[in-house]
Each structure stands twice: as structure tokens, then as C-alpha cells.
Amino acid sequence: MRTLCRSTILLTIGLVFLIPTDALRMRGDEQLPGLAALNKRRPTEDEMTASKGPQGRVVGGTTAALGEWPWIVTLQNIYSFHFCSGVIISENWVITAASCVSGLRPRNVLVVVGTVDWWDYTAVYYNADAIHVHCNFDNPLYHNDIALIHIYGEFEFDDYIANATLADIDELQEGDKLKFAGWGSSSATGSYERYLQQAEGTYLPVEQCRSDLGDTEDVDYGHVCVKLNAGTGACHGDAGGPLIDEQNRVVGFGNWGVPCGYGRPDVYARAAFYNDWIRTTINGCGSA
């Protein structure tokens, strides 16, 4: 099923850093993004017009051009409110973070494609008909944060809608440039704005990443870490979004970090680590 979509809203999510370990959480003990957004509605057109426009999102980012990220999707609830991102990997499959869709019924998820403006009146949306969350999601915390969404029908690929190439082996070396994008807020207490933002950092090996994040056990070889300058990074609403290498291969999906843009590494689920799970799930051997 396919139709035209209209979407956005101003969402404020506060996060107070009480102790160092709490500072490591993008979610912490708060409600998962999809469930938190279940009944949120977009603002009126007048409210959107009065908002501050194409600023913010990925902290320290720049606005992406239409077609620059043809495989990125905005995941929205039935009221067309953005809550997470995802990545097109075939004619009818999208990858996102498990934290984005855990607990949601497929009928409550819209996959909106071919736009950099998540409030775009002309953007095409597809209805989800199945959600597959990794069976070991958050066991332990922040591990296996990956899910697959199957849509009704098939995506119609063009210059603005395409499937991504997933990195199937680990070739990253320290210092490699990595680029990411999303529709999240511009600060930990900021609100979502309209336009897709992009920024870049460099690959940071797992051991160094774990050390930089206070020797946390929430980083392992199923993660890709991005070294960032202060003032740049992912934030609330960027979960599930793509991390790409210099060959435009998707190497990770937005997982967690210290919100937002404080110069600490951001952490992504490693695409190559989950290749077997992705293949078996798509082929009907995974758990629904």
C-alpha cells in the first residue's frame, strides 16, 4: 500500500546528567523512542511556518541536498510524527534500531521516503506489515540494537529513493572518515526541526572508544564508534540512521551516545557484525 504523506512536530526531551554513568545514555531509563512518540501529532502548518526552519538536527550538521541520502527513511507514527530514522536495504526491507520499534505494532509505523523534509506534503509513505526485533536486543544494555521492517508492496526506486549497500566485512581503520545523517534535535533539550542534517567524524577502534566512554561495557565488537569534535554528533531522534564510509557503504546504524555533541564518541550498531542475522531474517529464518 502506498499513498502521500504529510508530517513534523516540536518535541522536547530533557536529559539531566546526574552521575557519569548516566551521561553515557542517550535513552537511559526513559521510554523507547517509538513508544514515546506513539500518540504525538505534528504541528499545524502555521506552527511549522513560525518555527525556526532548517537549523539543527544532527548537532553541528549541515542541511543535506535532496537525493544525497536516497536510502534514508524517516519513521513516523500514524499521525505523521517523526521519531527515528532507518535505511532501505531492498525493495521491501528497512533496517533501523530495535529501540525505535520495540513494542510497536506494524500498523503504527509509516516509512517515509524520498525526502529531506520530514514534514513534506508530497513525500511517499509505505505502511509496515512486519517488524523483526533482534531477539537479544538490550541484553546486555545497548547491544543488539537492530531491527528489520518489512513494508507492504515495494519501494519504487528513482534518483531520490534507492537501496543502500551494506558493508559485509570489517575494513575500517582508525581515522577513516565516516558520515552520518538524521532528523534528530540540535541539543539534548532541543526540538525536532524539518530538514535532514549531515555531519562527519572518524572511526575510533572499540578499545579506545570504550575507554573514552568511561570503560563502559556497553561498547563491544558489535559496535562502530565515531570520534567527534565538540559541537558535533547525533542526538534524540537520530537513532536508526545510517553511518557511511567513504565508499558510501553503510557501516552502522544509530545506537547510542552522550547527548548531544559533547565531543564524546557516538556509538552505532556495526552492519557487518549483523550480516548473518539480516540475511536469515529476510529469508524467513529469524524470529518475528
pLDDT at 60 over 80: no
The residues, any chain, with a CB within 8 Å of residue 109's CB and separated by 6 or more, are 34, 75, 76, 77, 101, 127, 128, 131, 149
CA distance 263 to 32: 24
Confidence (pTM):
0.83
> Bigger pLDDT: 24 or 248?
248
Count, in order, helices (H) and strands (E) of the chain: 5, 15
Determine what percent of the chain is predicted with pLDDT higher than 70: 78
Q: What fold characterizes domain 176-272?
A: Thrombin, subunit H (2.40.10)
pLDDT of residue 13: 28
CA distance 275 to 288: 17
pLDDT of residue 274: 96
How confident is residue 44, by pLDDT bands cut at 50, 70 and 90?
Answer: low
Locate 242 and state its grid cell: 545510517
pLDDT at 147 over 60: yes
Locate 239 and state its grid cell: 537513532
pLDDT of residue 59: 58
**Which of 19-28, 59-68, 88-97, 219-228 shows the lowest per-residue confidence on average (mean pLDDT)?**
19-28
CA distance 115 to 127: 16
pLDDT of residue 269: 94
Q: Which of 201, 205, 95, 97 is nearest to 143 (CA)?
A: 97
pLDDT of residue 229: 79
pLDDT of residue 43: 62
pLDDT of residue 55: 34
How confident is residue 38, by pLDDT bands cut at 50, 70 and 90?
Answer: confident
| Structural domain boundaries in the chain | 176-272
Q: Are 4 and 114 in contact (CB under 8 A)?
A: no
pLDDT at 213 over 50: yes
pLDDT at 190 over 80: no
3-state secondary structure of 209: helix
Average pLDDT, the chain: 81
pLDDT of residue 48: 56
CA distance 115 to 143: 30
**Which of 48-57, 155-164, 197-206, 249-258 shows the lowest per-residue confidence on average (mean pLDDT)?**
48-57
Q: Which residues pair with 49 in a beta bridge?
A: none
pLDDT tens-digit map of 65-113: 999 999 999 999 999 889 999 999 999 999 999 999 999 999 999 999 9
pLDDT tens-digit map of 173-187: 999 999 999 988 766
3-state secondary structure of 98: helix
pLDDT of residue 10: 25
CA distance 234 to 156: 29
> Bigger pLDDT: 151 or 236?
151
pLDDT of residue 264: 87
pLDDT of residue 47: 58
pLDDT at 18 over 60: no
